[in-house]
Amino acid sequence: MKLKLEYIYVAAIVISILQLIVFFTNLEYDVEGWGKNSLRNLSNYVSEVNFQIIPYDFCQKPGMLLIFVCSAPQNAEARQAVRETWGSNKVVLNENVELLFFLGNSLNASVQEAVLIESEKFNDIIQADFSDSYYNLTIKSTLMLQLVSNKCLDKYKFFFKIDDDMFVNLPKLVKVLKEQNSSENVLLGKMMCGTKPIKDPTSKWYCPTYMYNGTYFPNFLSGTGYVMSMDVTRKLYNSAMTIPFIHLEDVYFTGLCAQRSGITPNTLFEFSTGYVDDNSCDINHLITMHYVTPEKMRNVYQRIQQPEFLGKCSQYKSVFEPIAWIRSTLFIPPARWKRKRIC
C-alpha cells in the first residue's frame, strides 16, 4: 500500500513538471502544412502559379458586380445548384452581374478530368494550379485577388467572394451596393469583433502564437462571403505581399491586410453566417445564408419567389427564436467552435 502511494506521488510530480515545461516553453502544435519553420512570405507561393482554366472572355464585358464562388474541385453538385438558382441571372436590377467559380487543383485525376469537362460546357470556371485544401485557403484568396486586380479593375464596380455552400439573395445585395455612397474603400460582410486566436488545436480555427502573437485579431469579416469595391482588391493584394501568411484567410485579408491598407470593414446585418431554416421568413430577409446543401438551395430559391410565401412574410419582423437559436448554436457542428463574436 505504502509503495503504491509513492508511485502516485511520483507520477503526479512528473505530470506537473511536464505541464510546467509545456507552459513555459510555449510548446504548440503546428498548423497542417504550415509549421513553425515554413516560409510565410506569400509572394513566394503565388508568383509562379498558372491559371490553367480560365473563361475565354474573362473580364471582357463590363458590369457592376463580379462574383467569385470559391469552390473545391469535387463540389460539382454545389456549383450546379448555384448555376440553376441564385447565380442564374446575369442582369439584376438592370445591372450586369458576372458569376464565376474559383477552384484550386485536386490530386484526384478523375475529379480533374470532370472539372475540365464542366468548364468546357459552362465556360464559368477558373482553376489555379495549387493544391486546394482548407489550410491553403489564404493562398486561394491571394490568387483570386491577384487575378481580379490584374485583369478586372476597370471592368466592374464591386467584387464579391462567396463560398459554394452559401445562398445569396442577389437582388438584395445589388440594391445595397447601389446605395453605397462611396465607390472606394468599401469592404462589407458579417463582422467579427474582439475575437481572440483559438488555442485549442482540435478547432478548425486553431491559431498558434507563432502564426499570430496578438491577444485579439483586428475586426474582420467572416470568410463565408464578403464584398468590396474594386480598388480594395488591389490594396489587399499589395498588403498581403508585406504581411506574413496566416492560414485563416478571412482574418488575414479582411482583418490584417485591410488594417494595413487603411480600410475599415463594415457589417451588413442581412449577412448571416448561420444555419437558417427553410420555413423561416428569414430566408426572405437575409442576403446570405450558410450550410446550404444543393437541395436546400433549390428549395429556398423557389420559396422566395412564391407569392404566398412572400405574403406570409411581408409583416415579418426579426424576433429571437429560442428553438432556432438552440439548434444553430448546439446542433450545427461548426458553430460549436465558438469563434463568433458577431457585432
Ligand X SMILES: *[C@@H]1O[C@H](CO)[C@@H](O)[C@H](O)[C@H]1NC(C)=O
Instruction: Take residue 144 and report the three cell numbers written for it.
Output: 483570386
Among 60, 108, 293, 305, binds ligand X (CB under 6 A): 108
For residues 210 and 245, is the Cβ–Cβ distance under 8 A?
no
List the interface residues with ligand X, window 239-258 (CB under 6 A): 242, 244
Stretches 148-156, 173-181, 230-238, 278-286: which one binds ligand X (CB under 6 A)?
173-181
Give SS3 for 48: coil
Closest CB to ligand X among residues 41, 264: 41
| Distance (Å) of CA 134 to CA 53, 204, 221, 247, 288 | 21, 9, 18, 8, 21
CB of 272 to ligand X, least distance (A): 19
Stretches 17-25, 131-139, 198-206, 335-343: which one binds ligand X (CB under 6 A)?
131-139
65 Cβ partners below 8 Å, 6+ apart? 92, 95, 96, 97, 98, 156, 157, 158, 159, 160, 173, 174, 177
Q: Does 331 bind ligand X (CB under 6 A)?
A: no
CB of 174 to ligand X, least distance (A): 14
Stretches 21-29, 178-186, 252-260, 279-287: which one binds ligand X (CB under 6 A)?
178-186
Closest CB to ligand X among residues 180, 329: 180
Report how far residue 63's alpha carbon sits from residue 192's, in angstroms, rounded to the nearest whole number. 30
Report how far residue 59's alpha carbon sits from residue 52's, in angstroms, rounded to the nearest whole number. 16
Q: Does 328 bind ligand X (CB under 6 A)?
A: no
CB of 273 to ligand X, least distance (A): 21
Stretches 103-111, 151-159, 226-234, 275-283: which one binds ligand X (CB under 6 A)?
103-111
CB of 193 to ligand X, least distance (A): 19
Q: Does 259 bind ligand X (CB under 6 A)?
A: no
CB of 96 to ligand X, least distance (A): 21
Report how far residue 78's alpha carbon sits from residue 163's, in angstroms, rounded to the nearest whole number. 10
Q: Does 96 bind ligand X (CB under 6 A)?
A: no
Question: What is the DSSP code string of 83-131?
Answer: HHTTT--SEETTEEEEEEEEEEE-S-HHHHHHHHHHHHHHS-EEEEEEE
Q: Does 213 bind ligand X (CB under 6 A)?
A: yes
3-state secondary structure 282-340: HHHHCCEEECCCHHHHHHHHHHCCCHHHHHHHCCCCCCCCHHHHHHHHHHCHHHHCCCC
Closest CB to ligand X among residues 31, 297: 31
Taking CB under 6 A as the rule, which mask of x and - marks residues 6-45 in contact with ligand X?
Answer: --------------------------xx-------x-x--
Stretches 61-69, 129-137, 224-232, 302-310: which one binds ligand X (CB under 6 A)?
129-137
Among 25, 110, 202, 215, binds ligand X (CB under 6 A): 110
Q: Does 133 bind ligand X (CB under 6 A)?
A: yes
Q: Tell me the number of residues near ligand X by CB under 6 A.
A: 19
Answer left, alpha or beta for residue 26, where phi above 0 means left and psi between -120 and 50 means alpha: left
For residues 132 and 87, is the Cβ–Cβ distance under 8 A?
no
Please give the span between the terminal C-alpha atoms of the chain, in angstroms, as a whole number.
58
Question: Which residues are at the interface with ligand X (CB under 6 A)?
Answer: 32-33, 41, 43, 74, 108, 110-111, 130-131, 133, 135-136, 179-181, 213, 242, 244
